[in-house]
């Protein structure tokens, strides 16, 4: 640290002027006395009578001159340096540069708080020291990262990687999910949990509906804070004064209605408490039993803790939000709630030693997609005021000095390994399930063994259990030293390594869940979904469900369950009773031009299914499934008169399928990343009854066939550009499907190539075949994380013995993914020989089609 030479030139000039003026004033006094004596002599000689009058005037004049000269002696040099009157503080200038410690205060504001990163970068580039930091909410995150040794560039790298958006989205990354454990075809938009409570004294039972503690799952952000800050927390031994830069943050005690200042303890926990935005994130509970939420409720600009505890010589405050405006009667609900739980924040800093930077950043609280823009805004606007900051801060710290300081701090950080100490908050049966699940997940690394795990492995265990959707985190994960074992050297004998105990606290969600969802469409494909699910755990995981789907063209009733055996390799048994109905006899499907390819038909499927499966890996399953039931088909035969009774076909069957599937797709419909591989073989036998009442035609026959299918769908990353993804798929099917006595029955029981949602709504005979080879290319232009334009061009090669054996399909969709479903506008074209068979459809939600009883 040194004094900035260039900034002292004005002060030196003022001091020199003051010295000259002081010496000159003494000479003037002497000269003035001589003048008075001379004047008295002359006056007395030529006008003795006016002597007394002249002496009075001279005395008054002399006192005025002496007052001016005495003021010049008293004023400090800096007051004369620029010819300005001294002032405590203004936007342009300050009384004098201050040499000493600098405190940086960062306010909250969600995504707007990324503004602080740009401010820090600008300050460090211009050698402005930062000796203390404090913050609230997002400001607490940035302040903690800086205090833990992260540079502004490293923080910007984290933001630009999309990690913060992922953490705060509430979504657990797909890689932590087990494919066998998902029911991906459920179009649920809203789920409510219910807990059955039994009053033994009254002999009555009641149902208690449970709303979530927070609408955003905090599992990802919880562990992100552990990853980023645990080493620094251990290095400072819980004393925030011993971080690379002393740190303070503020949370709010919900019950005491007061601000809580964190100066020690667990650093990740302190930051998590400070950023617990009401309604969005669940509050946390500390060791004293205080329920803590976002510090911005009571103090969104915590300069007071720095002033009271450290008394920095200079305070630099950064405000990124506007002062809260009063709520109105027509304010949104979230505005009304926040007005109830927050107090107005005073952004007034102490006079004479502080400067307030920032602006009201006009982005949403959770709009982290604009992160780079916000950080650049903070950088540019701080650079614009850097001269003003220099005039206040007289001390500087070079970039080299700061880099050395940061490097020395990082070298002091221990290498951490962990042992899972305990799973709290669960019953004995629930704990048995969780421990078995985690043991299986880590492939033999028992939670009670002497083998330590890395934080990444502990994260894998924690998020894998949370990704099941059946558990919630009850308390923020706690990290502590392994005092019982008394060990600090782990595995390879690394003396700088330290073993910590990590305690997870879970709570199982209520066993009963009700779901509501469906699909809103511009076509006849409107659906409403109602779901019921029951889930319980012990030595096995047992679930039962009821799915009800109703719509003009598609209806579904499904009652089923699953039993999971958590061995080293998970095993499961599925069982269900299904009723599917699909009809195109009535309704519009969005055709813009005449539709000559589709047919009017109705298909009813009633069947029971059972399966035994093995989760070979996290993302793959090997399964044997048996279906048996009854299918009914109704359609117009080519020789039917208009309005005549339709032809019917009934098929009683038994079907066997052996299949392998591996999937890492990010979405069920309109995926943009991941891959899926499907390999299967089937064998089907049944008895067909064909009936045409008008023609008085009946036939009975046994139909049997076998088949195989292979399908590969892939969306690679980084092939072309970040904003462009090019996916592709290949599908091949070969069966010995027999003739059913008429062409329409052959079509409806044959394998179906349907790569788009719209193609699943219709019966288009050209895309049914007993054997085919199909391929497609799906380029996607990404306008943002959830908005993209997807195109798909597909070609299908069917039986070469048929004259028109090539078929084509194209689909262009604009998609916006929301938390409750996808909004899509799709143009679909079947075959390219004319403009016929063109469709335009709008859908909001997730359409459900159900599994085919005959598999393909």
pLDDT in tens, 277-286: 888 899 999 9
Buried b (16+ CB within 10 A) or exposed e, 74-99: eeebbbbbeeeeeeebeeeebbbbbe
Q: DSSP secondary structure string, 271-308?
A: HHHHT--TTTS--EE-TT--EEEEGGGT-SS--HHHHH
Is the pLDDT at 292 greater than 50, yes or no?
yes
On average, the pLDDT of the chain sits at 82
Q: Find the mean pLDDT for residues 416-431.
A: 81
Q: Which residue has the tokens 């469900």?
A: 545
Answer whether 148's CB lies under 8 Å from 232's CB: yes
Is the pLDDT at 523 greater than 50, yes or no?
yes
> What are the CA-CA distances from residue 293 to residues 430, 719, 723 (Å)?
28, 44, 37
pLDDT at 9: 35
pLDDT at 203: 72
pLDDT over 70, % of the chain:
82
Strands (E), 312-362: 314-319, 354-358
Q: For residue 513, which of 193, 182, 211, 190 has the smallest C-alpha distance? A: 193
Q: Which 3 state secondary structure label does DSSP give 760?
A: helix
Q: CB neighbours of 117 closer than 8 A, spacing ≥ 6?
A: 142, 152, 155, 156, 159, 375, 378
Total number of residues shown for the chain: 856
Is the pLDDT at 265 greater than 80, yes or no?
yes
pLDDT at 77: 33
Is the pLDDT at 89 greater than 50, yes or no?
no
Is the pLDDT at 32 greater than 60, yes or no?
no
pLDDT at 643: 53
Q: Which 3 state secondary structure label does DSSP give 261?
A: strand
Is the pLDDT at 749 greater than 50, yes or no?
yes
Q: Which residue has the tokens 């002027």?
A: 17
Q: DSSP secondary structure string, 774-834?
A: EEEEEEEEESSSSEEEEEEEEEEE--TTSSS-EEEEEEEEEEEEETTEEEEEEEEEE-SSS
Q: How many other C-beta atoms lie within 10 A of the C-beta of residue 680?
A: 19
DSSP 758: H
In angstroms, the CA 225 to CA 93 distance is 40
> What are the CA-CA distances from residue 348 to residues 109, 301, 331, 580, 796 (Å)?
17, 9, 27, 66, 70
Which tops the pLDDT comparison, 322 or 5? 322
Answer whether 540's CB lies under 8 Å from 566's CB: yes
> What are the CA-CA distances from residue 854 to residues 461, 743, 752 (Å)?
38, 18, 11
pLDDT at 4: 39
Per-residue pLDDT band at 458 (split at 50, 70, 90): confident
Q: DSSP secondary structure string, 112-145?
A: GGGHHHHHHHHHHHTT----EEEEETHHHHHHHH
pLDDT at 40: 31
- Mean pLDDT lowest among 149-158, 234-243, 488-497, 673-682: 488-497
pLDDT over 90, % of the chain:
51
pLDDT at 451: 62
| Cα angle: 295, vertex 300, 301; to 5 degrees | 125
pLDDT at 17: 34
pLDDT single digits (tens) 115-156: 999 999 999 999 999 999 999 999 999 999 999 999 999 999
Tokens describing residue 267: 């650093």
In angstroms, the CA 313 to CA 126 distance is 19
In angstroms, the CA 688 to CA 649 distance is 7
pTM of the model: 0.76
Answer whether 225's CB lies under 8 Å from 272's CB: yes
- Bridge partner residues of 48 (DSSP): none
Which tops the pLDDT comparison, 423 or 561? 561
Torsion (CA) 68, 70, 72, 74 in degrees, nearest 10: -140
Is the pLDDT at 701 greater than 70, yes or no?
yes
Please provide residue 568's backbone torsions phi and psi, each rounded to the nearest 5 degrees: -55, -35
């Amino acid at each position: 640290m040194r004094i900035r030479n260039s900034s002292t030139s004005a002060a030196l000039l003022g001091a020199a002027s003051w010295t000259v003026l002081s010496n000159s004033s003494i000479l003037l006094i002497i000269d003035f006395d001589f003048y008075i004596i001379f004047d008295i002599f002359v006056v007395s000689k030529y006008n003795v009578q006016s002597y007394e009058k002249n002496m009075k005037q001279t005395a008054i004049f002399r006192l005025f001159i002496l007052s001016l000269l005495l003021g010049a002696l008293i004023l400090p040099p800096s007051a004369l340096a620029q010819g300005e009157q001294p002032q405590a503080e203004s936007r342009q200038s300050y009384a004098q540069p201050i040499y000493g410690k600098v405190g940086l205060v960062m306010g909250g504001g969600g995504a707007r708080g990324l503004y602080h990163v740009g401010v820090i970068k600008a300050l460090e580039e211009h050698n402005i020291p930062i000796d203390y930091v404090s913050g609230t909410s997002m400001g607490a995150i940035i302040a903690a990262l800086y205090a833990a040794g992260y540079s502004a560039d490293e923080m910007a790298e984290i933001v630009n990687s999309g990690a913060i958006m992922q953490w705060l989205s509430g979504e657990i990354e797909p890689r932590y999910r087990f494919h066998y454990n998902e029911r991906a075809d459920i179009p649920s938009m809203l789920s409510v949990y219910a807990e059955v409570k039994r009053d033994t004294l009254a002999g009555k039972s009641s149902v208690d509906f449970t709303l979530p503690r927070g609408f955003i799952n905090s599992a990802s952000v919880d562990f992100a804070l552990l990853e980023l800050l645990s080493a620094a927390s251990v290095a400072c031994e819980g004393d925030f004064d011993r971080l690379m830069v002393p740190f303070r943050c503020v949370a709010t005690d919900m019950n005491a209605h007061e601000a809580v200042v964190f100066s020690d303890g667990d650093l990740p926990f302190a930051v998590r408490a400070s950023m617990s935005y009401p309604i969005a994130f669940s509050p946390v509970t500390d060791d004293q039993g205080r329920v803590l939420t976002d510090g911005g409720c009571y103090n969104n600009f915590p300069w007071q803790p720095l002033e009271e505890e450290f008394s920095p010589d200079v305070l630099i405050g950064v405000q990124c939000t506007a002062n809260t405006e009063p709520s109105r009667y027509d304010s949104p609900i979230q505005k009304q709630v926040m007005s109830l739980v927050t107090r107005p924040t005073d952004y007034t800093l102490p006079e004479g030693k502080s400067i307030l930077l920032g602006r009201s950043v006009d982005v949403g609280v959770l709009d982290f997609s604009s992160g780079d823009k916000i950080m650049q805004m903070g950088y540019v606007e701080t650079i614009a005021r850097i001269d003003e900051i220099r005039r206040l801060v007289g001390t500087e710290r070079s970039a080299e000095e700061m880099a050395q300081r940061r490097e020395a701090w990082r070298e002091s950080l221990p290498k951490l390994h962990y042992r899972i100490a305990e799973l709290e908050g669960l019953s004995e049966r629930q704990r048995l399930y969780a421990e078995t699940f985690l043991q299986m997940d880590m492939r033999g690394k028992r939670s009670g063994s002497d083998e330590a795990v890395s934080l990444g492995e502990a994260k894998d265990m924690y998020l894998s259990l949370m990704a099941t959707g059946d558990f919630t985190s009850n308390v923020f994960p706690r990290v502590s030293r392994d005092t019982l074992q008394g060990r600090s050297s782990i595995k390879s004998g690394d003396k700088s390594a330290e073993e910590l105990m990590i305690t997870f606290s879970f709570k199982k969600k209520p066993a009963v869940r009700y779901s509501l969802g469906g699909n809103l469409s511009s076509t006849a494909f409107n659906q409403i979904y109602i779901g019921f699910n029951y889930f319980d755990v012990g030595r096995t995981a047992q679930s039962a469900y009821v799915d009800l789907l109703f719509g003009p063209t598609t209806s579904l009733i499904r009652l089923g369950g699953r039993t999971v055996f958590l061995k080293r390799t998970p095993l499961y048994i599925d069982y269900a009773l299904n009723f599917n109905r699909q009809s195109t006899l009535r309704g519009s499907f969005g055709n813009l031009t005449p539709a000559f390819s589709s047919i009017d038909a109705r298909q009813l499927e009633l069947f029971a299914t059972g399966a035994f499966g093995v989760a070979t890996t996290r993302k793959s399953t090997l399964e044997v499934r048996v279906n048996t039931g009854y299918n009914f088909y109704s359609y117009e035969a080519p020789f039917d008169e208009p309005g005549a009774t339709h032809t019917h076909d009934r098929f009683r069957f038994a079907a066997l399928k052996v299949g392998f599937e591996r999937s890492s797709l990010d979405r069920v419909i309109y995926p943009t990343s991941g891959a899926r591989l499907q390999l299967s073989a089937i064998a089907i036998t049944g008895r067909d009854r064909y009936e045409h009442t008008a023609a008085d035609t009946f036939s009975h026959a046994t139909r049997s066939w076998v088949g195989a299918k292979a399908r590969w769908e892939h969306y690679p990353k980084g092939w072309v550009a970040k904003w462009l993804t090019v996916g592709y798929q290949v599908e091949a099917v070969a069966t010995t499907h027999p003739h059913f006595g008429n062409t329409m029955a052959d079509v409806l029981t044959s394998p179906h190539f349907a790569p788009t949602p719209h193609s699943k709504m219709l019966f288009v005979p050209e895309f049914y075949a007993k054997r085919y080879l199909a391929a497609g290319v799906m380029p996607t232009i990404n306008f943002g994380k959830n908005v993209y334009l997807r195109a798909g061009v597909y070609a299908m090669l069917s039986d070469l013995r048929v004259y028109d054996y090539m078929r084509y399909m194209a689909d262009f969709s604009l998609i916006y993914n929301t938390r409750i479903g996808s909004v899509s506008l799709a143009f679909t074209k079947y075959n390219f020989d004319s403009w016929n068979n063109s469709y335009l459809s709008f859908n909001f939600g997730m359409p459900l089609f159900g599994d085919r009883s005959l598999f393909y």
